[in-house]
């Protein structure tokens, strides 16, 4: 009887390497795959930074290939540069130009890493039954509901369920997360026991592109200067172009000399205006979310559903109620028990019941 074959998304880092190692120990037939997305379309310099997109990608692919050879598994590179440019870079650019702050990692996971990469790999003749990554999250099957559930990883400090919250049932049924039940310290110990100290010491990828900021993405995109207004509509400065600002931003706004610290509260693209105010103006208790992706439920019913909601990866989820928006399909209204700081249009809001991801949506607008 043929062994189940698992394709593992190898990045050249510790997490995916240990995930592949654990699957081999469990007796699976393993093959490594990596998507190649760098195409030189942006004028990025190789600054030695570990990032998803940039000229340093070659080092990561070489490291992934080397580790596949060390494990004795086949390894394949899947070209997806044009798809990444369309699905992620163009999306990111358009969202910023529209005054929103997108999450490129969430977008990339749903459309490329767990989508087009697997389709392209199979079309190229690579055979596999399941797909695994080094994400810190868990998958369970709910027999009663006949659906797959996405849960937080047991290591709360490393949990990556937020970034996976846009995956659908077809994707979840294919996925394995070998590190979901482990802590980062346990993963480091396993790598050390295998003699992979270079992986233990390797810096983790923290950036979406190999650059210190995102301005290079807009190098060829005009972004006009405009007024910075306070909450009373008084002009107190001039912004450099709305692409340089996001809700909640304080540093680099360009309005020194104010009586109290001022934050970006809102971006008005129609008037090409940045509105700023004191911290209390960032505190909002409501938001509207669109483009919903339900995982463990079909959505709230006729009565409000009590959840915990996370409005960005580093945000501690907070108690809230969600109800369907009667004015728009595939949209919910979210009311937090207490106001939250810097609810940002374009970001993802994820709804939890304990460790279980109920679903997610794109924040369209906080209450004004």
pLDDT band at 301 (very low <50, low <70, confident <90, very high): confident
CA angle, residues 36, 97, 160, in degrees to nearest 5: 50
pLDDT band at 266 (very low <50, low <70, confident <90, very high): very high
If one counts every other C-beta atom within 10 angstroms of the C-beta of residue 181, the result is 12
Report d(CA 142, CA 140) in Å as an integer: 6
Report d(CA 238, CA 55) in Å as an integer: 34
What are the pLDDT digits (tens) for 166-199? 999 999 999 999 999 999 999 999 999 999 999 9
pLDDT band at 223 (very low <50, low <70, confident <90, very high): confident
Question: How big is the chain, counted in residues?
Answer: 368
Residue 267, beta-bridge partner list:
274
Q: Which of 53-62, 215-224, 234-243 has the lowest mean pLDDT?
A: 215-224
Q: Select from 165, 129, 181, 170 the least CA-distant residue to 350.
A: 165
What are the pLDDT digits (tens) for 118-144? 999 999 999 999 999 999 999 999 999
Q: Select from 6, 2, 11, 4 the least CA-distant residue to 121.
A: 6
In the chain, the domains with their CATH numbers are 5-209 (3.40.50.620), 222-277 (2.30.30.280), 283-366 (2.40.30.10)
**In this structure, are residues 248 and 312 in contact, taking their beta carbons and an 8 Å threshold?**
no
């Amino acid at each position: 009887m043929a062994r189940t074959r698992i394709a593992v998304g190898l990045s050249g880092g510790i997490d995916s390497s240990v995930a592949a190692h654990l699957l081999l120990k469990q007796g699976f037939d393993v093959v490594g795959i990596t998507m190649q997305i760098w195409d030189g379309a942006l004028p990025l310099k190789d600054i030695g930074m570990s990032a998803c997109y940039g000229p340093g990608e070659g080092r990561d692919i070489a490291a992934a290939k080397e580790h596949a050879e060390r494990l004795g598994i086949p390894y394949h590179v899947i070209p997806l540069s044009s798809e990444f440019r369309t699905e992620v870079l163009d999306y990111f650019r358009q969202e910023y130009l529209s005054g929103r702050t997108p999450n490129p990692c969430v977008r990339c996971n749903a459309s490329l890493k767990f989508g087009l990469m697997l389709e392209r790999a199979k079309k190229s003749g690579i055979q596999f039954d399941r797909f695994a990554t080094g994400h810190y999250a868990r998958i369970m099957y709910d027999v009663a509901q006949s659906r797959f559930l996405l849960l937080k990883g047991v290591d709360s400090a490393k949990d990556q369920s937020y970034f996976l919250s846009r995956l659908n049932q077809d994707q979840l049924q294919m996925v394995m997360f070998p590190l979901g039940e482990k802590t980062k310290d346990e993963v480091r110990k396993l790598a050390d026991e295998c003699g992979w100290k270079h992986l233990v010491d390797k810096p983790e990828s923290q950036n979406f592109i190999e650059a210190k900021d995102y301005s290079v993405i807009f190098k060829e995109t005009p972004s006009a200067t405009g007024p910075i207004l306070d909450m009373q509509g008084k002009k107190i400065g001039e912004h450099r172009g709305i692409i340089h600002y996001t809700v909640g931003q304080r540093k680099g706004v360009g309005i020194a000399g104010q009586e109290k610290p001022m934050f970006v509260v809102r971006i008005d693209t129609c008037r090409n205006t940045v509105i700023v105010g004191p911290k209390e103006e960032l505190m909002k208790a409501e938001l509207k979310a669109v483009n919903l992706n339900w995982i463990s439920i079909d959505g709230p019913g006729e009565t409000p559903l009590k959840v915990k909601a996370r409005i960005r990866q580093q945000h501690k989820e907070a108690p809230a109620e969600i109800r369907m928006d009667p004015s728009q399909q595939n949209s919910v209204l979210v009311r937090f028990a207490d106001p939250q700081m810097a609810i940002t249009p374009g970001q993802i809001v994820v709804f939890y019941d304990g460790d279980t991801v109920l679903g997610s949506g794109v924040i369209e607008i906080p209450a004004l």
